[in-house]
Amino acid sequence: MGEKLWQKSASELAGLIKSKQTSSREVVEAHLARIDEVNPRLNAITVTLADSARAAADAADRTEPTGPLHGVPFTIKENIDCTGSATTQGLPALAEAMPGLDAPVVARMKSAGAIPLARTNLPEMGLRITTDNPLRGRTLNPWNADRTPGGSSGGEGSALASGMTPIGLGNDIGGSLRNPAFCCGITALKPSRGRIPRASSMLPEDPGLSEQLMAVEGPMAREVKDLRLAYEILSGRDPRDPDSVDVALYGPKAAKKATLVTDLPGIELPQATREAVRKAASVLADAGWEISESQPPELERVHEIWAYHLSMDFQPQLADLSLIMSPAAIRLIELICEQFPPAAVRLADIHAERNRLSRLWTKFFDESPLIVGPTWTDTQFTHDADLDGRAGMEITTNRLRFISPANVLGLPSVAVPTGVHEGLPTGVQVYAERWREDLALDGAEAIETGLGQICPIDPAF
């Protein structure tokens, strides 16, 4: 079949299994073998579900297709409930925390015929933009062992980039889907808040306000077509998430207009980052998109409101978090709270500002249905640079200056690679108005078609 099974997309594997050109068992075994081959170098996979995956694959091979991902393996970040394996949050204290129910996204993947293959790594409580923790250790970037794979869904990013899984599940309150996509050269969809349900059977079942407003679950893959397929599978109301809704997956036809963002207030973008955005825009222009260059409204203020939402939740929890998290990770959270002190603002004013900024961005999207800009504002940093005191805190917050609008305003965004510069992936984000994931996916797919995929790869070390 030319390519090895572990090199193929989830959509391709589903087609091969459906047409009986291969079996689900063969696909599962190919990925388990790939995990055995490369995971000792990368530490992206934390636990393999080999026995249950093999049994599910054999069952799939005995039946007719039950859904669009029948017999296809997938991986799950270790802060998403998957029965039969612990929801550890990267914490020794939760090493044996077994969920009673699958998260809605896991249940929907299973209903689509997909098979849980393994769990993937994350930082403690998902609260860094790199991936390391005292329970599972550090995950490496397959492109460069010295550079971060991103976080907090960094295990998924590294596993996808190296062919250990064809599709995976992560989540995002500050780029945790898009950060690893950029760092590892894959693609990810951060959906509108409420589009894909988010719930856990683990205590506390009811999260803090910032999580309620800004955190989402979403798919990660190597190809946009797989994101689109997962988007259709995962979307829609679930009673366990009272904010989840049924909204049309595809909206009315929109003008093919995209705004290019190559400058951000308060930060100097590297030349390679600007070039990545311009490359993406050139491809869109060739595909018939009208391109203009501008900045969306009040980017600095949007970023501040995002940070204040987080600090308002973090600060009251610091004493409790200190009991289960490492001192260095706690210090990073403390510094963010010092930079954006909750006492400096009123919660009512923060909500009013969020609403005002949402109105401004909605009007902006009326003129330009897509926004194409950087994912991170700088390159993949070296390990633990984010823990280097105030300079480390700024590494985190500054890199997220164009990540945060999607979270605080509830917008969809697709991260997509654009190539390789000096041995590391480059990429962009494609933003659209709330509930218009279809437009963001269209733009990302056009960029991918013009520039190609860059994964999977063998680890460069």
Radius of gyration for the alpha carbons in the chain, expressed in angstroms and rounded: 20
Beta strand 216-221 with 167-172: parallel, antiparallel or unpaired?
antiparallel
* DSSP run (H or E) holding 370: strand 370-374
Which residues lie across from 48 on neighbouring strands? Answer: 118
Selection from 301, 280, 300, 302 nearest residue 291 by Cα = 280
Active site residue 153: no
How far apart are the C-alpha atoms of 130 and 147, rounded to whole Å? Answer: 9
Q: Which of 176, 200, 358, 368 is catalytic?
A: 176
Helix (H, G, I), strand (E, B) or coil at 176: coil
Q: Which of 152, 192, 244, 413 is catalytic?
A: 152
How far apart are the C-alpha atoms of 388 and 256, rounded to whole Å? Answer: 43
Extract the tokens encoding 207.
């999260």
Strands of 115-120's sheet in order across: 45-48, 115-120, 73-77, 167-172, 216-221, 187-190, 413-421, 424-432, 370-374, 257-260, 290-293
* DSSP run (H or E) holding 424: strand 424-432
Active site residue 404: no
Selection from 189, 191, 254, 195 nearest residue 227 by Cα = 189
Q: Which amino acid does the sequence have at 325?
A: M
Instruction: Return the axis-axis angle of helices 24-42 and 154-161, rounded to nearest 10°.
Output: 110
Active site residue 152: yes
Q: Which amino acid does the sequence have at 112?
A: A
Helix (H, G, I), strand (E, B) or coil at 231: helix
How far apart are the C-alpha atoms of 275 and 262, rounded to whole Å? Answer: 9
Q: Which of 8, 9, 77, 235 is catalytic?
A: 77
Which residues lie across from 455 on neighbouring strands? Answer: none
Catalytic residue annotation = 77, 152, 176
